[in-house]
Chain A
Amino acid sequence: MSISTSIWIWIAALLTLMIYSFLYKDNPFYRLAEHIFMGLSLGYTLVILWYDYIIPRIYQPLFFSPHQWSLIFPILLGMMTFGIFSKKYNWLIKYPLAFYVSAFAAIQIPVMLRSWILKQVEASFLTPDKFSSVFNSINAILIFVGLVTTLIYFYFSKKREHGFGAAATVGIVFIMVAFGAAFGYTVMARISLLIGRMQFLIQDWLGIM
């Protein structure tokens, strides 16, 4: 066991313990650490924006040769965002919002149709290659049935009776299995985050591992 002698490691360990003090109850140490985090992280974002955005994309192209005067228009449009600081001119924000929301919406339509819908439907078709063995055949049929019944379950414009209701009931079985798997994976994810912090405290700070 060799406890770290690095001041930075000690700072990190202290902050870690301040956050963990919340497990006992909400207390000033936790709140202090939380607020320090908020301030530091926004400060960090601003520094990154300064070096990677404001200097190379706004300041240099406008004020240094070769000047890119055409950038004045998107910059002016972007600057309309400052309208949110004024009650009188807050409607100015609508211009940059309208521009980028509609541009992204338009860019999204064809690619989402292909990526999320057409290719996903195509991959569920019962093509002959999916029946190469008994196991694969069962899986292909299960996937097809699972997909169709899940879609039926989320279709709320028709009354759930007879065959439609039965299909929706099958759909909920698949959905519950998926949610169960998602819960299991979520537990796994949360535990992993704790393991990472414990590795830091035990290995890097206390030097036990």
Chain B
Amino acid sequence: MGFWQRLLQLDRKWIFLGIAIVVIIPLIKPLGLPIKPTKPVQDLFNYIDTLGPQSDAIFLVCDFDPSLMPELMPMIQSILRHCLTKGVPVILHGGLYPAYIGIAKMAIDEVAAEFPEKKSGEDYVFLGFIPGVTAVILAIGIDIASTFKTDYYGVPIDSLPMMYGIKNYSDISLVVDISGSSSPESWLMYGQERYSVNVGLGCTAVSAPSYYAFLQSGQFVGMMGGMKGAAEYEELLARKGYPAGKRPATTGMDSQSFAHLLIILLVILGNIGYFVVRRAERKAGMERRKR
């Protein structure tokens, strides 16, 4: 058996080990490769950056479960930091499914601790879960207070100072859906088409390619796609001198780069091996036929 044949039959545990090594080493010894923000992220950042304390609120939706935390948690925390730094009223919605609310709680607990002067109900509002998925998106367009009744902590929404004057989408400048599912499309259909609210999104890298169609048509104001998108947003916050936290997405980018290089190398080796072995097999077959 030749080298290429042996390579093609390589035990996958070696590949697992290789991936683990290229992810771990850059985390311990980071290179700090520069992050270049792309247009969709810049557009989202610019939109929020033009807002201030007197602006309509941002409705930030946490639509993902812990499986997607590394990609999406830095996004939700960056948007929260951006809003709290600029004084933009922000409504954090704990998502359309019950499993998402814990993530939203985790995000707000960590970011609120960095802004001790900001108060729940005055500078930000945390809304809990209600079932209904699409119905919830529609019901927010009718009336937020009568839909949710209380915030996550059980305080009636009518009594929260920040919510005075915020009734429905007409008082929301932008819905930012941080999503691990197809929910951005639902916000687009039921929030934007029915109630004309602007929508921006943060999504996993898996979903990002399909949302370019809505970006080009101007239906989404901007988009963060995957951990790279989150890193770009962190970079934009840092460039402006805003607090950006520990920048987990940025610190992960070196590992991301090297893991991609290894996978590309594996693909190239796999293909060379495939063609070499196929050629050898064809040659052997022809010789057999000759005989």
- Chain A interface mostly: helix
Q: If A53-B131, A193-B71, A194-B19 touch, does A186 touch B205 (CB 8 Å cutoff)? A: yes
Q: Which of B128, B208, B251, B256 contacts A191 (CB 8 A)?
A: B256
Cβ of A94 within 8 Å of any chain B Cβ, yes or no, is no
Q: Which residues of B contact A134 (CB under 8 A)?
A: none
Q: Which of B27, B101, B149, B204 contacts A56 (CB 8 A)?
A: B149
Name B210's closest neighbour in chain A (CB-CB). Answer: A182
Name B225's closest neighbour in chain A (CB-CB). Answer: A185
Contact B138–A107 (Cβ < 8 Å): yes
Cβ of A181 within 8 Å of any chain B Cβ, yes or no, is yes
Task: Count residues of chain A with CB under 8 A from any CB of chain B.
Answer: 47
Contact A194–B23 (Cβ < 8 Å): yes
Contact A191–B204 (Cβ < 8 Å): no
- Chain B interface mostly: helix
Q: Which residues of B contact A151 (CB under 8 A)?
A: none
Contact A119–B219 (Cβ < 8 Å): yes
Q: Which residues of B contact A120 (CB under 8 A)?
A: 213-214, 217
Per the 8 Å Cβ criterion, residues 124-151 of A in contact with B are 143
From B78-86, B108-116, B186-194, B281-289, give the one contacting chain A.
Answer: B186-194
Cβ of B265 within 8 Å of any chain A Cβ, yes or no, is no
Contact A195–B209 (Cβ < 8 Å): no
Contact A48–B101 (Cβ < 8 Å): yes
Cβ of B28 within 8 Å of any chain A Cβ, yes or no, is yes
C-alpha gap A61/B255 in the complex (Å): 53
C-alpha gap A203/B16 in the complex (Å): 21
Cβ of B140 within 8 Å of any chain A Cβ, yes or no, is no
Cβ of B260 within 8 Å of any chain A Cβ, yes or no, is yes
Contact B13–A44 (Cβ < 8 Å): no
Contact B205–A188 (Cβ < 8 Å): yes
Contact A123–B252 (Cβ < 8 Å): no
Contact B130–A53 (Cβ < 8 Å): yes
Per the 8 Å Cβ criterion, residues 110-124 of A in contact with B are 110-112, 114-116, 119-120, 122-123
Contact B69–A196 (Cβ < 8 Å): yes
Q: Which residues of A contact B138 (CB under 8 A)?
A: 107
Q: Which of B70, B150, B192 contacts A192 (CB 8 A)?
A: B70
Name B24's closest neighbour in chain A (CB-CB). Answer: A198
Q: Which residues of A contact B134 (CB under 8 A)?
A: 104, 107-108
Q: If A192-B70, A195-B256, A202-B28 touch, does A186 touch B193 (CB 8 Å cutoff)? A: no
Q: Which residues of B contact A116 (CB under 8 A)?
A: 185, 189
Per the 8 Å Cβ criterion, residues 54-85 of B in contact with A are 67-71, 73
Contact B67–A193 (Cβ < 8 Å): yes
Q: Which residues of B contact A192 (CB under 8 A)?
A: 70-71, 205, 226-227, 252, 256
Cβ of B181 within 8 Å of any chain A Cβ, yes or no, is no
Contact B23–A191 (Cβ < 8 Å): yes
Q: B residues bordering A, Cβ < 8 Å?
A: 13, 16, 19-20, 23-24, 27-28, 67-71, 73, 98-99, 101-102, 128-131, 134, 138, 149-150, 185, 188-190, 192-194, 204-206, 208-210, 213-214, 216-219, 225-228, 248, 251-252, 255-256, 259-260, 263
A-B contact pairs, 17 of them (CB 8 A): A44-B99, A48-B128, A52-B98, A56-B149, A111-B189, A112-B189, A116-B189, A122-B217, A185-B209, A185-B225, A187-B260, A192-B70, A195-B27, A195-B256, A196-B252, A208-B27, A209-B28
- Sorted from nearest, which 6 A-B pairs have the closest CB atoms? A196-B70, A123-B217, A189-B205, A192-B227, A48-B98, A111-B193
Q: With A44-B102, A199-B70, A208-B27 given, can you name 15 additional A-B contacts, CB distance below 8 Å? A: A23-B16, A44-B98, A48-B128, A49-B131, A52-B101, A111-B193, A120-B214, A123-B217, A182-B209, A187-B263, A192-B71, A193-B68, A193-B70, A193-B71, A198-B24
